[in-house]
Chains A and B, each alone.
Chain A
Amino acid sequence: MKRTRNILVVAVFLLVVLVGVPWLIEATGRLDLYYTLTSVALLSIASAGVWVTFYIGRINIGQGAFALMGGYVSAILVVQYGVSFWLTLPLAGLFCAAASVLIGLPILRLRGVYFAMVTLVLTEVARLLALALPITNGAKGMVSIPLPGGISIFGLTILPDFAALPNPRPAFYLVSVVLMALCFAALYRLVHSRIGKLCQSLQQNEELASSIGVNIAYLRVIAYAFSSFLGGLGGAMFVAISQSIYPSSFTVTDSVNFMLNCFLGGLGHVFGPMIGTFVLYFGWDFLFETGEFQLLIFSSVLIALMLFLPNGLLSLRLFGKKQG
């Protein structure tokens, strides 16, 4: 029963985002929305990573570092080594995951505000590294990164050569949305498997978890690596679209936004970061009309939301869903 309903919800969602939205965009001629929605999809992937660290009881304000790292890894591999972008995408994720294991081993011992502060610094360290390292081309950044090529297996074209398309925007949109769907499916599975329960046990009481035999250090590192993998993935895809990357492509503000997306959507819901990113991104754009008051109104609304909906927008239970 529940399974059938889940499949139905996923099918409707995919139909809407893969067919409905492009149709609407073409019909209304608002082609700029492709870029906006692509951004939402990719930012929500990175936010999903942050959500995982929340799930093990850590406040992570450092996802910008991994998005930046993933972006540079992909860009360097594509530009300097001529690797196909589609191969660099998982490689960027894996590179970030590996880096996060090294970083995570010492810092994941910290809790609460201490961990948060270190991750905040991490974003800044990543930016300074990007400025200083020779391979990243410093402040000039890397520009004119070639568009992703095609993928074909046995002569069957799975993805077209993006450079050959008259307008790559819709293609980027579709790829990003599919990527987002895959990431959230992976996350959903994680949360609903025993690993999710174990993560919750860490979040609620690490000492007790350890006393029932949970290897808390190991699990924390795994969760952080998964989180950073998603950050790297989102960052790499973003770079492919903008065809450029600078040390300031992902900054502390982005790190904070990734965290806010999770808060806004709801820390108790897998799809929280997706909804949160969507609302935050469009909310910000929507308030553009208010000019100089944009930030003031935006932050006031955010504060109000956190006060009145501390468990996020999804706690409104729009679908009448009961928590199991």
Chain B
Amino acid sequence: MTELLQIKAVNKRFGGLVAVNNVSFAVREREILSVIGPNGAGKSTLFKLISSFLNPTSGEVLFREERISGLAPHIVARKGVVRTFQETTIFKGMTVRDNVIIAHHLRSNASLAGFYLGTNTARRDEDEFGRSADEIIDFLDLGTQRHEIASTLPHGHLRALGIAIGLATNPTVLLLDEPFAGMNHDETVRAVEMVRGVRKRGVTVLLVEHDMPAVMNISDRIVVLNFGVKIAEGTPKEIQENEKVIEAYLGVEDETIGF
């Protein structure tokens, strides 16, 4: 299997704090890889480093063997590495459909001037975006909310809309930031199916997550961080049996972790 994304000896310091310390791993084509770790393990920082919302202090991230660290986020998105956000980062004032349509921006063939003048290319793009948006909306079961203003959607649907926005960019790798956070059991089950569906569309998924059962259930492979250091990497089974991982979790939380 080809390695799509390579994270190579990535470091990130904030002043004296080392948030991510010499982390290396690779994401293979069409797999679901999860990054887990206790609070403050550096997951979110790592996530931002991969999507180029932050630049690493040292080390680099490669996509298809090409360095993407240091590029502007919109350029990285254009190359096919697209992130979603925690919580409810959507275009709140627009309808669900407009949210998804606008996210097709990357696919447009027409220039801004073309859109302004309404050239044929621009009109073809608009038609195509509308059709594609409707397909994605149906795929994520948002059909009944199509014309509602996004800010009025319930929590679970907002998350689905976030993923829809990500999918609309036609990504090669979709980075999901805690897609199951704040969800109850039923919602999580549905969200897990959603992520599986995303992979079925040929998209490689890298997710950062807290929810252990969901991660164990969905991932092909798991990378575990603790205090910014990678302490384990492997299949869900291997991770469950890894002593370092158990220690890391039990050392931080008293409650049962759930696996």
B67-111 Cβ-contact flags toward A at 8 Å (1 or 0): 000001110011000111100011111100010011101101000
A201-B91, A204-B91 known; A210 vs B77 contact (CB < 8 Å): yes
Bound: A198/B91 CA distance, A = 11
Inter-chain contact A201/B51, CB cutoff 8 Å = no
Which of the listed residues A200, A208, A217 has the most CB atoms from chain B within 10 Å of its own CB? A208
Contact in complex: B116, A212 (CB < 8 Å): no
Task: Report Cα–Cα, A217/B72, bound state, in Å.
Answer: 10
**Contacts A208-B165, A211-B82, A212-B103 hold; do A194 and B126 have CB atoms under 8 A apart?**
yes
- B-chain residues with CB within 8 Å of residue A82 when the two chains form the complex: none
Asked if B77 and A195 make an inter-chain contact with CB atoms under 8 angstroms apart, the answer reads no
Tell me which residues across on chain B come within 8 A of A216, comparing CB atoms.
74
A157 at interface, CB cutoff 8 A: no
Among residues of A, the one whose C-beta sits closest to the C-beta of B103 is A212
Q: Is the CB of B91 within 8 A of A211?
A: no
Q: Is the CB of B112 within 8 A of A204?
A: no
- The total of chain B residues at the interface (CB under 8 A) is 35
Name the one of B74, B85, B165 contacting A215, with C-beta atoms under 8 angstroms.
B74
Secondary structure type dominating chain A contacts: helix
B53 within 8 A of A: yes
Q: Are A208 and B77 in contact (CB under 8 A)?
A: no
Query: How many A-B contacts if CB must be within 8 Å?
Result: 85
The proximity string for A residues 206-249 relative to B, scoring 1 for CB distances below 8 Å and 0 otherwise, is 01101111111101001000000000000000000000000000
Q: Does B118 contact A (CB under 8 A)?
A: yes
CB distance from A291 to the nearest CB of B (A): 43
> Are the CB atoms of A193 and B115 closer together than 8 Å?
yes
Name the contact of A200 in the complex, choosing from B91, B106, B126, B169 (C-beta under 8 A): B91
Q: Looking at chain A, what size class is its interface with the partner chain?
A: 20 to 34
Q: Is B7 an interface residue when CB atoms closer than 8 A count as contact?
A: no
Q: Is residue B223 within 8 Å, beta carbon to beta carbon, of the partner chain?
A: no
Task: Determine the distance from Cα of A213 to Cα of B241 in the docked complex, in whole angstroms.
Answer: 40
B215 lies within 8 A of chain A by Cβ: no
- B122 and A194 within 8 A (CB): yes
Is B115 touching A195 in the complex (CB atoms < 8 A)? yes
Among candidates B85, B98, B101, B115, residue contacting A211 with C-beta atoms closer than 8 Å: B85
| Minimum distance in angstroms from A297 CB to a CB of chain B | 34
Q: Which label, helix, strand, loop or mixed, suits the secondary structure of the B interface? A: helix
Most A-side CB within 10 Å, residue of B82, B94, B105: B105
Determine how close the nearest CB of chain B comes to the CB of A193; give it in whole angstroms: 5
Q: Is the CB of B112 within 8 A of A222?
A: yes
Q: Does A190 make an interface contact (CB < 8 A)?
A: yes
Q: Which of B91, B98, B165 has the most CB of A within 10 A?
A: B91
Tell me, in angstroms, the Cα distance from A197 to B122 when the chains sit together: 14
Decide: A213 and B85 in contact? CB cutoff 8 A: no
A211 to B171, CA, bound (A): 11
B169 CB contacts on chain A under 8 angstroms? 212-213
- Decide if A205 is an interface residue (CB 8 Å cutoff): yes
Question: What chain B residues lie within 8 Å of A111 (beta carbons)?
Answer: none
Which residue of chain A has its CB nearest to the CB of B129? A194
Q: What 1/0 flags go to A186-198 for Cβ under 8 Å of B? A: 0001100111011
Shortest B75–chain A CB gap in Å is: 8
A205-B91, A211-B84 are known; give 15 further A-B pairs, CB within 8 A: A193-B115, A194-B112, A194-B115, A195-B112, A198-B102, A204-B94, A208-B165, A210-B74, A211-B83, A211-B85, A212-B82, A212-B102, A212-B168, A215-B72, A219-B112
Offer 28 A-B interface pairs, CB within 8 angstroms, sorted by A. A189-B116, A190-B116, A194-B108, A194-B122, A195-B112, A198-B102, A198-B112, A200-B94, A201-B91, A201-B102, A204-B91, A204-B93, A207-B53, A207-B85, A207-B89, A208-B85, A208-B91, A208-B165, A210-B72, A211-B51, A211-B74, A211-B77, A211-B85, A212-B169, A213-B77, A214-B74, A214-B105, A216-B74
